[in-house]
Structure 1
Amino acid sequence: MIKPLRKAVLPVAGLGTRFLPATKAMAKEMLPVVDKPLIQYAVEEARAAGIELFCFVTGRGKTALVEHFDVAYELERTLEERGKRAELELLRAAAVEPGSVVTVRQQVPLGLGHAVWCARAFIGDEPFAVLLPDDLMLCDTPCLAQLAEAYRETGGNVVAIEEVPRERVSRYGVLEVERDLGRLVSVKGLVEKPPVERAPSNLTIIGRYVLMPEVIGHLARMERGAGGEVQLTDAMAKLIGHQPFHGLRYEGRRFDCGDKAGFLEAQVAFALKRPDLAPAMRAILRRYA
């Protein structure tokens, strides 16, 4: 029996050093793309996939992430008194159900695998999603909803994948392919940040996962991998052969908002998708062409 996918883990403890000084006193996940912070895009994507419960794996100075999803009574009252109904509805649409967001602390930066392990009590014995807010997705069907659909088809673990130029594979977790079925890829191995000459393919994992709870047992061993960190990819690799494991070629576009150029491109792409902003953005781009 395939259990329903209700929970999502969002690792958000990073310092955002590539965006200093902007992130000196501000969580990088609160950086806005057009008029919404990255964390809100991730939560909205998860909700569209049926996620009901969220765990933010945070660090020091990250309280604004939780406060963003709280009710701002004074602000809402002021908007209501001034007749700003559209703005009020935007705020209310961003709210989540009471009790649906919990936080845990990752006190030491030991990698993505360690961050997911920190959420072990929240995960329990249920399947769960992992979303990395730095990977901002622009898809007609939300990326995690595509993964959730694939999970319901195959059971087991499903990760979002994309092809990258061979010379860039050392930045990612890379798939060793058992069978390429087109939309889905059956996986027989995973390697984290391999040298180009040892990469089994150019199919790489991006920041969207549906995982089985058994991965926590492997993470609990705290084995260090690439960069001396506890790598989620290494723990996932140990599930292969014991549980179904697939990569999904998602339909859409990813913007790496942990990178300045990717963040700037996302601003342009998301503005061009907005009927209220697209004409102005096109005019701006023509001025700088």
Structure 2
Amino acid sequence: MIKKAVLPVAGLGTRFLPATKASPKEMLPIIDKPLIQYAVEEAIKAGIEEFLFITGKHKRAIEDHFDKAYELEERLKASGKYDLVEKINSFENYNFVFIRQKEPKGLGDAILCARSFVKDEPFVVILSDDLIDPDYPLLNEMLKIYEDKKAPVIALEEVPLSEVSRYGIVSGKKINGYYVIDNLVEKPKPQDAPSNFAIIGRYILTPQIFKYLEQVKPDKKGEVQLTDALRLLLNETKIYGVVIKGKRYDAGEKLGYLKTIVEFALKDPEISSNFKAFLKEKLSSSIC
């Protein structure tokens, strides 16, 4: 079983400035949990026990979030709020490690920072911007394929052709419900895209990826792209793709983030009823 997950969280979060000037975008809340907590909880459901966060400047809040908060805990106990004590201590049995990426040199460079943590084990990579419906066990699907094939597995989503330039795009052959990938291209123009199947923020990787990350040349922005290293890795091993069947929320940009909040609020048992009534009132008044 795979027990380690790598969460790259060193990005600058420029799409959410000025909110992210001194606070990590991964700590932006969806109702009552930050984005990064949803990612960790998803991994825990899939059996992950050890977490490495690749951080940068102004990311200390992430470390604090998964640490003990003794003063807060005592105040909650004194107020009889033991349910909240349990919520803030729900990660006590898991191991969290933090490594700083010295420069924001792309996803590939961030994952290269995980080499000493991963050692010779396969591992999961989770990008918290891509929030997966908590009721959909995407990682479990991917892990089943890894257990069978013992090769890298990446999550895919079919996107409109007009949007392929936002993603890494793959081509491949569908066999038994998954794809055997034969090519990967980082952010191609629509006319150059090998398909409209986009890589989304869930990967199962093997330690072989590190030697190819070292070989990849930085792009025009000075960033090392994981997609480029995966394309080189195809010379050594097969790579499999799983097309997502559940809902993915793109919380990494403003409109997607707002849509995510609305959808999660509509499913929240504590507030959904009143929130629906509020939305109906606002919609009816705007139509009038």
The verdict on a shared fold, with TM-score over 0.5 as the criterion, is yes
User: Contact between 1:111 and 1:230, CA under 8 Å: does it hold in 2?
Assistant: yes
Distance 1:16 1:182 in 2: 38
Task: State the Cα distance separating 1:226 from its structure 2 match.
Answer: 6.1
**1:88-103 equivalence runs, <5 A:** 88-93=85-90, 95-97=91-93, 100-103=95-98
User: Contact between 1:110 and 1:229, CA under 8 Å: does it hold in 2?
Assistant: yes
SS in 2 for 1:244: coil
Aligned to 1:54: 51
Aligned to 2:281: 287
Q: What do the CA deviations read for 1:4-45 (whole angstroms, capped 9, x no partner)?
A: 211111000111111111111211101100000011111111
Aligned pair 1:264/2:264, yes or no?
Answer: no
Aligned pair 1:114/2:109, yes or no?
Answer: yes
Query: TM-score, normalising length from structure 1?
Result: 0.94
Distance 2:175 2:144 in 1: 16
The CA RMSD measured in Å over matched residues stands at: 1.4
Aligned pair 1:215/2:209, yes or no?
Answer: yes
Distance 2:80 2:74 in 1: 10
Aligned to 2:286: none
Task: State the Cα distance separating 1:191 from its structure 2 match.
Answer: 0.6
SS in 1 for 2:140: helix
User: Residues 36 and 139 (structure 1 numbering): CA distance in 2 closer, same or farther, change over 3 Å?
Assistant: closer
Distance 1:241 1:155 in 2: 16
Aligned to 1:27: 24
Task: State the Cα distance separating 1:213 from its structure 2 match.
Answer: 0.8
Aligned to 1:189: 183
Aligned pair 1:247/2:244, yes or no?
Answer: no
Q: What do the CA deviations read for 1:44-85 (whole angstroms, capped 9, x no partner)?
A: 111111111111000011111011011111111111111112
Aligned pair 1:79/2:76, yes or no?
Answer: yes
User: Contact between 1:127 and 1:212, CA under 8 Å: does it hold in 2?
Assistant: yes
Task: State the Cα distance separating 1:142 from its structure 2 match.
Answer: 2.9
Distance 1:137 1:163 in 2: 15
SS in 2 for 1:238: helix
Distance 2:278 2:196 in 1: 36
Task: State the Cα distance separating 1:123 from its structure 2 match.
Answer: 1.2
Aligned pair 1:104/2:99, yes or no?
Answer: yes
Task: State the Cα distance separating 1:182 from its structure 2 match.
Answer: 6.0
User: Contact between 1:79 and 1:85, CA under 8 Å: does it hold in 2?
Assistant: yes
User: Contact between 2:216 and 2:228, CA under 8 Å: does it hold in 1?
Assistant: no
Distance 2:100 2:89 in 1: 27
Distance 2:188 2:54 in 1: 27
User: Residues 146 and 195 (structure 1 numbering): CA distance in 2 closer, same or farther, change over 3 Å?
Assistant: same
Amino acid at match of 1:240: L
Amino acid at match of 1:152: E
Q: How many residues align?
A: 283
**1:2-41 equivalence runs, <5 A:** 4-41=1-38
User: Residues 226 and 44 (structure 1 numbering): CA distance in 2 closer, same or farther, change over 3 Å?
Assistant: farther
Aligned to 2:199: 205
Aligned pair 1:43/2:46, yes or no?
Answer: no
User: Contact between 1:46 and 1:144, CA under 8 Å: does it hold in 2?
Assistant: yes
Query: TM-score, normalising length from structure 2?
Result: 0.94
User: Contact between 1:29 and 1:38, CA under 8 Å: does it hold in 2?
Assistant: yes
SS in 2 for 1:66: helix
Distance 2:47 2:216 in 1: 31
Amino acid at match of 1:263: Y
Distance 1:76 1:149 in 2: 39
User: Residues 232 and 226 (structure 1 numbering): CA distance in 2 closer, same or farther, change over 3 Å?
Assistant: farther
